[in-house]
Amino acid sequence: MAIVTGGASGLGRAAAEALAAAGAKVAIFDINEKAGRDLAETIGAHFCPVDISSEGSVVRGFADARAAQGQERVLVHCAMVNRSGKTVVRNKETGVLTRFSTEDFEVAVQGILVASYRLASHAALGMAGLSPLEDGERGCIVLTSSVAAQDAQIGQIAYGSGKAGVNGLVLPMARDLMDEGIRVNAIMPGIFATPLLGRLPEKVLNNLSASVPFPKRLGKPEEFASLVLELVRNSYFNGQTVRLDGGIRMAPR
């Protein structure tokens, strides 16, 4: 069984669809109940309403998914909560300085880094009780980082540091879990054609596409899903943070 967080839309949806098409039982964790239930019905998955920022909600989600589908061997964590803003901003008209609040920073780090640990550690605890497969493998965890972990832009102080923290989770967690036969990797997507980006004006989308070295377009969610499948299937992938970005390196702004 595979659990996909943020599975109702975007990269998570593509991953859930690909895993289901590959024959896996899938449980979708998302706060969007209508979209989640609609997709679950379409692909034969099980939907669990889950808020990744709540320990209790996550625990209930795992219990729900396992009761319906059995213990998961795969976790693909795509969901997040974020806040944007520059460290210090000067008002161009008044010259007044304001600061990105500690509270906003904490919300983002909780919603990106802490949530990644929360989901991965609960999944690992369950996976460790499974009977081992070939090579002694019991499970596979795929986290979603971002190219912003390495070259975050202006206004991404919380997002960039949160995603860098996700990258920092991967190797020590893979080492923690090596004796349990559980692999841990992360994907760092570049600019992908998700519903969130789809709200931007066409001119902005065209400029974003042109900024990618090759191919000069936005990434496709199914390309993210393809890499998820490879990370799940290829048991020699472990402790890795993999860029999937068309060769882009983000400019400061």
Question: What are the strands, taking DSSP E only, across 31-138?
Answer: 46-49, 74-77, 88-90, 97-99
What is the pTM (predicted TM-score) of this model? 0.95
Strands, E assignment, 91-145 = 97-99, 139-144
Average pLDDT rounded to a whole number, residues 193-222 = 88
Task: Tell me: pLDDT of 206 over 80.
Answer: yes
What would the mean pLDDT of 90-113 be, rounded to a whole number? 96
Active site residue 159: yes
The tens digit of pLDDT for each residue in 8-35 reads 999 999 999 999 999 999 999 999 999 9
For residue 141, name the pLDDT band (cuts at 50, 70, 90).
very high
Annotated catalytic residue: which of 29, 47, 100, 159? 159
Q: For the structural domain made of 2-81+112-244, what CATH number should be given?
A: 3.40.50.720
> Three-state DSSP class for 103?
helix
